[in-house]
Amino acid sequence: MIRVPLSPFTGRISHSVLRLARFAESALPEVANCDEVSDAFYRKVFRMPARSLTFLRLTLMTFRCSGFFLLAALTLNFPSAVQAQTHAQGASIAQNETRTARALELARANPLELHAFLEKMPKGGDLHNHLVGAVYAETWIREAAEDNLCIDRAKLSFAKPSADQHLCGTNQVPASTAFQDQHLYDALIDAFSMRAFVPTPGVSGHDHFFDTFEHFVGDGIDSRHMGEWLDEVATRAASQNEQYLELIHAPDFSHAAEITKEVGWNYDLSQLRTALLSRGLRDDIAAARASLDQAEVLRRQREHCGEKGEAAACRVQIRYLYLILRGFSKEQVFAQTLLGFETASADPRFVGINYVMPEDGYVSMNDYTLHMRIVGFLHGLYPKVHISLHAGELAPGLVPPEGLCCHIHQAVEYAHAERIGHGVDVMYEQNSQTLLKEMAALHVMVEVNLTSNDVILGVSGKDEPLPIYRKAGVPVALSTDDEGVSRIDLTHEFVRAVQSYDLHYSDLKQMVRASLEHSFLPGSSLWGAPDVFTHPVAACASSRLGADNPSATCSAFLKGSEKAQQQWELERRFRLFEADN
């Protein structure tokens, strides 16, 4: 009979060794040497056939019996040790989250401390961000000088110099003059943005906001600067712990506009589509791709991506929504919408489409239902192209009461919108409670732009429907809209949300997760059920969220989904942020 000396084994493993000794005496047959002890043990514990034990035997032959029992004791302890470690990690993560939530409550009393806290907080994605409106005025002035443009002093806008002599016209000066004339420089920034704006009779915040674009977009800035714009918004995003942007962007449409003039309007949308495509509408896709290629190369060069010491902005993923101008003729809106669907089908960097321009404009209001049916028609032909729409960017008094009836409703039901931008007039729409229930059931997310809702529509505080959406279970996420024009960033919107609506850390975390859940990135969600951020999919259920080394099944799942990869990265960032608080 084997006798195991217990004296060499002390401390935490002694109990396991005692168990093993009793096992050896009662459960093992008489054996002649340590190898037979080890074989019998592993067959008993792991149910392994003897022929599978060759490697184990070779390994254990290097041990004397005492060494073998030490190894076996550790083996017996391993499952419970792993469970204990996993439980400890889970408890630590929960404690970190609780501590971080308390830190937010302490910070909310001081706006500066609140800003500092929220600037570092992971924010996921900004899904409602107009690229041109995101660029700050200072950048436009610098680029105008580089392009040798002129400034019209009366209009405070850019103009091209004469083609023959390259001279500025009457009451115009070279753009570079602004760097020596502080009054001109300040006036340009104020004209290009909402800085220092005060409403006056006849000029509302709405009017000034939309007029800013004519000052810097109208005439002159070369599109070769687009890579610089991407770098600017990505760098700003990285500095606030953002990781994903969907930028609303309009490729050149001039060729398609000429085709539209030839074709005209036809209420038979199928025939109209055929006519446009037969005249070469798809030719514009190559130009859009080439422009984006050039811009992204410049962005990567400026950020030194792929090099040692690359900028943090390199880790901000960017995709695009094809911008459609809703304020033009029926045929042009249809042609641009068709080109948007075609481009998004051909280039995966364009993940969807979106309509822009003031929703209260005459054409926007008059043709709104037609526009939604156009989108719905094309959705039937291009079902994989995602749809986000500005809808409900209206307020009482901006349009007649009947104008508030149904824009969000039609965007959801006619156009099959997956996300709604602004959605301010929801409670003025017909059957608003039914609409809210429908949006919640369909998981239609609202892109909430608190600052632009205020400066454009005069809607803030209790008039802002963010709390109503949240109460109804409609997913929401904060976004910036036009951060350059509004002179804000995403952190500003988080601060405003916390201060205005008494949001807590768990509320912010829910919205941040929703931003990536409702991104238009390809692939399945990390989460097992839509908008329920408690349980990941089965493939990743056994892995710690955001871990550097997920299980093999989880790794395989993540590899097949760009969306899940970003969501996993967000969980990693949450873990690091909460461990720091």
- Is the Cβ–Cβ distance between 538 and 564 less than 8 Å? no
Task: Show which of 217, 239, 271 is a domain's final residue.
Answer: 217
| Predicted confidence (pLDDT) at residue 52 exceeds the cutoff of 50 | no
What does the alpha-carbon distance between residue 118 and residue 240 come to, in Å, rounded to a whole number? 8
pLDDT exceeds 80 at position 308: yes
Domain boundary among 200, 217, 234: 217
Taking each helix axis from N to C end, the angle separating 505-517 and 65-107, rounded to the nearest 10 degrees, works out to 110
Whether 392 and 513 share a structural domain: yes
Tokens matching residue 296: 């992204």
How much is the pLDDT for 163? Answer: 81
What pLDDT band is residue 167 in, cutting at 50, 70 and 90?
Answer: very high
Looking at the DSSP assignment, which residues form a beta bridge with residue 203?
200
Q: What are the pLDDT digits (tens) for 207-218?
A: 999 999 999 886
Count how many domains the chain has: 4
Please answer whether residues 61 and 35 qualify as being in contact, where contact means their C-beta atoms are separated by less than 8 angstroms: yes
What pLDDT, in 10s, does the model give residues 115-127?
Answer: 999 999 999 999 9
Q: Which residue has the higher pLDDT, 507 or 44?
A: 507
Give the pLDDT score at 77: 52
Residue 41 has pLDDT above 70, yes or no: no
N-term to C-term CA, the chain: 58
Instruction: Please provide residue 390's backbone torsions phi and psi, each rounded to the nearest 5 degrees.
Output: -70, 120
19, 164: one domain: no
pLDDT at 50: 41
Residue 481 has pLDDT above 80, yes or no: yes
Secondary structure class of 148 (helix, strand, coil): coil
Q: Are residues 10 and 65 in the same domain?
A: yes
Average pLDDT over residues 247-251: 96
212 & 182 share domain: yes
Q: What is the pLDDT of residue 86?
A: 55
Does 331 share its domain with 380? yes
Pair 149, 263 in one domain: no
Residue 272: pLDDT band with limits 50, 70, 90: very high
Cα-atom radius of gyration of the chain, to the nearest Å?
Answer: 31
pLDDT value of residue 21:
45
Angle between helices 490-501 and 111-120 (to 10 degrees): 130
User: For residue 534, which phi and psi values (nearest 5 degrees)?
Assistant: -115, -30
Confidence class for position 80, pLDDT limits 50, 70, 90:
low
The answer to whether 472 and 537 have CB atoms below 8 angstroms apart is: no
Mark whether 90 and 227 lie in a shared domain: no
**Where in the sequence is the domain holding 142, given as residue range(s)?**
138-217
CA-CA-CA-CA torsion sign (514, 516, 519, 523) = negative
End-of-domain residue from the set 503, 521, 539 = 521
pLDDT band at 164 (very low <50, low <70, confident <90, very high): confident
Interval 95-120 mean pLDDT? 97
Using CA atoms, how far residue 8 sits from 11, 17, 18, 20, 425, in Å, is 10, 10, 12, 14, 77
Q: What is the reported pLDDT for 221?
A: 80
Quick check: helix, strand or coil at residue 518?
A: coil
Confidence class of residue 83 from pLDDT cuts 50, 70 and 90? low
pLDDT at 26 over 90: no
Q: Do both 461 and 401 map to the same domain?
A: yes
Who wins on pLDDT, 43 or 305?
Answer: 305
Strands in 150-152's sheet, in edge-to-edge order, are 157-159, 150-152, 172-174
Residues 435 and 507 in one domain: yes
Q: What is the pLDDT of residue 85?
A: 56
Cα 77 to Cα 19, 22, 68, 73: the distances in Å are 11, 16, 14, 6
For residues 11-20, b (16+ Cβ closer than 10 Å) or e, as one string?
A: eebeebbeeb
Q: Does 44 have pLDDT greater than 60?
A: no
Same domain, 501 and 565: no
Dig out the tokens for 391 from the structure.
Answer: 């809808």
Residues 45 and 9 both lie in one domain: yes
Residue with tokens 């989108």: 375
Q: Are 389 and 420 in contact (CB under 8 A)?
A: yes
Q: Which of 6-10, 34-38, 159-163, 270-274 bottoms out in mean pLDDT, i.e. has the lowest? A: 6-10
- Quick one: pLDDT band at residue 68, thresholds 50, 70, 90? very low
Residues 496 and 529 in one domain: no
Q: What share of the chain in percent tops pLDDT 70?
A: 84
CATH code at position 433: 3.20.20.140
Lowest mean pLDDT among 40-49, 411-420, 478-487: 40-49
Where does the pLDDT of residue 132 fall: very low under 50, low under 70, confident under 90, or very high at 90 and above?
Answer: very high
Q: For residue 278, what are the contacts with CB-CB under 8 A and spacing of at least 6?
A: none
